[in-house]
């Protein structure tokens, strides 16, 4: 087993790169991806026959260079340097959706936003009928609070 790993270290680096990419998906800060880039460079070094010391040096150098050069560019263009980026359900606030199930006064209904259907409530004094457009004003867990867009325009 150890002989196989030593003869195919590039595969270990490739697995490390994929694991770093998966971990990056959970953070979104473009920090862990720098280690993935370093692991890919080391995998290439291992594939051409460099010894483990060169591979480690390549990993450290490329990962460090990525932190200083790639990460700022990625943050600038993909996050637009927003200090408070809404994510997941928080990004729904302010969005416009279409009512798929009538929202009864004092009750709940359903609203579709980008193909996802959310349970919705409203403070409106009247029912909001299916087919109406609404704006999301707040969120509590998986229940969104909406208001009719016709009342916004009036």
For the segment 93-113, the average pLDDT, to the nearest whole number, is 90
Give the pLDDT confidence of 35-56 residue by residue, as tens digits: 999 999 999 999 999 999 999 9
Across the chain, mean pLDDT equals: 86
Predicted structure pTM score: 0.53
**Better-predicted residue by pLDDT, 154 or 9:** 9
Tokens 């473009």 found at: 30
Range with lowest mean pLDDT among 30-39, 45-54, 119-128: 119-128
- Both tokens of 136, joined, read 């999301």
**Would you place residue 1 in the very low, low, confident or very high pLDDT band (cuts 50, 70, 90)?**
confident
Q: In this predicted structure, what is the pLDDT of residue 154?
A: 44
For the segment 96-114, the average pLDDT, to the nearest whole number, is 90
């Amino acid at each position: 087993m150890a002989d196989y790993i030593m003869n195919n270290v590039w595969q270990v680096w490739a697995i490390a790169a994929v694991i770093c990419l998966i971990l990056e998906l959970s953070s979104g800060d473009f920090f862990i991806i720098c280690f993935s880039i370093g692991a890919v460079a080391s995998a290439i070094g291992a594939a051409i026959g460099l010894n483990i010391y060169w591979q480690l040096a390549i990993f450290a150098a490329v990962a460090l260079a990525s932190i200083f050069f790639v990460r700022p560019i990625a943050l600038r263009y993909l996050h637009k340097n927003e200090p408070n980026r809404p994510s997941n359900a928080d990004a729904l606030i302010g969005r416009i959706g279409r009512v798929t199930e009538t929202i009864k006064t004092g009750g709940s209904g359903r609203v579709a936003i980008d193909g996802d259907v959310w349970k919705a409530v409203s403070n409106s004094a009247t029912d909001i009928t299916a087919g109406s457009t609404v704006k999301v004003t707040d969120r509590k867990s998986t229940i969104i609070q909406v208001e009719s867009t016709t009342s916004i325009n009036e």
